[in-house]
Amino acid sequence: MSITPDGLAVESAVVTTFTWDYTSKDPKLRALYEKGKAAQWNAATDIDWSPELHFGAPLPEVDDVTGLSSRRPPNCPVPPELWNAYRWEYHSWMTSQFLHGEQGALLATSRLVETVPDLDDKLYAASQVTDEARHVEAFSRYVQRLGSSYPINPALRTLLGNVVSERRWDIIYLGMQIIVEGLALAVFRLGHATTFDPVIRQITDLVARDEARHVAFGVLALEGLQDQLTSRERAEREEFIKEASLLMSRRFRMEEVWQRMDLDVAAGVEYVLTDSAMRDFRRLMFAKIFSNLTRLGLVSDELRAHFQELALLRPGQVRAWRR
């Protein structure tokens, strides 16, 4: 993996598979493919891009679980006079990371088209490639409209690089459909629906519908697969999930925002890690990922302890474990 002047270059050796078996083997997957075809939308014409937006303007009062709230927590290192500016920076940082993540999904899913063995999966993955192109289009247009952007967060960059360099297709599903998209779906549903800007609300509503199908695709594709793995292969998947969850939780330390605002980075990171609202937000985001991993039979006690250590489990999930 090497950073280029305007991107990232990831080398990988993959096995591209053809299949001559054109019969459908998975009716549920085929039904999801049909649903996806019927649910196409157009980022250029189905979103009303006309509302004006002025980056930095005074923001309205909103109560928002994502941290965009107008109420400044007392333990927050952002001084009260910078709170409005911080809300804009946070929004800009978040939407830029959505955009970079969408490009990761576009590339990872096109890798799936090549590498998955069955036709049902190839067809669905190809339809997802179109969805992701639309998401990249919508978010890139939004970021331009905002007039402020952030480079990709280093933890997200590492994770996306790891996913697209994978030759084991089930790990691509795990990294992209279960973890990255599971998290994106939760953020879109939880957070940005309640923000101040009607345009991002429309985008996240439309994108979340697609992401729900993409997560369902991952679960359908991986269901039952862990029973066929050797103990060594299982351990490799567990390692991958541990690393991916660590990187995804690191992503939310927002170092780039603290730096851009000239605030103390260590104090900012400490706030993100210890503030109860921020912690609850992370737990909500990871809740579905964890339940999908559990459904797929991929959660060992060790993995659960890892999630617990990263403070990503909700109290109910911890209680279920201790019972």
The contact set with Fe ion (CB under 5 A) reads 102, 105, 132, 135, 181, 211, 214
CB of 207 to Fe ion, least distance (A): 6
Q: In the complex, what is the shortest distance from the CB of residue 131 to Fe ion, in angstroms, rounded to a whole number? A: 6
CA proximity to 237, closest of 320, 300, 161, 311 = 300
Give least dist CB 203 to Fe ion, A: 11
CB of 98 to Fe ion, least distance (A): 8
Q: Is 116 helix (H, G, I), strand (E, B) or coil?
A: coil
Closer CB to Fe ion, 66 or 103, in the complex: 103
Q: What is the distance between the alpha carbons of residues 34 and 38, in angstroms, rounded to a whole number? A: 6
Our CB check for Fe ion shows the closer of 68 and 105 to be 105
Which of 102, 120 has the CB closer to Fe ion? 102
Per-residue three-class SS string for 75-112: CCCCCHHHHHHHHHHHHHHHHHHHHHHHHHHHHHHHHH
Other beta carbons within 10 Å of 6? 5
305's CB contacts (< 8 A; 6+ apart) are: none
Tell me the C-alpha distance between 310 and 130, whole Å: 34
Per-residue burial over 293-323, b if 16 or more Cβ lie within 10 Å, else e, is beebebbeeebbebbeebebbeeebeeeeee
* Residue placing its CB nearer to Fe ion in the complex, 77 or 182: 182
Q: Tell me the one-letter amino acid at 293.
A: L
Query: Which string of b and e fits 7-32 if b means at least 16 CB within 10 Å?
Result: ebeeeeeeeeeeeeeeeeebeebeeb
Q: How far is the CB of 102 from Fe ion (least distance, A)?
A: 5
Distance in Å, CB of 111 to Fe ion, minimum: 14
Of 135 and 253, the one with the shorter C-beta distance to Fe ion is 135
The minimum distance between CB 260 and Fe ion, in angstroms, equals 26
- For 214, counting Cβ atoms within 10 Å of its Cβ (0-12 exposed, 13-18 middle, 19+ buried), the class is buried
In the complex with Fe ion, the residue whose CB is nearer, 103 or 317, is 103
Of the pair 89, 131, the CB lying nearest Fe ion is at: 131
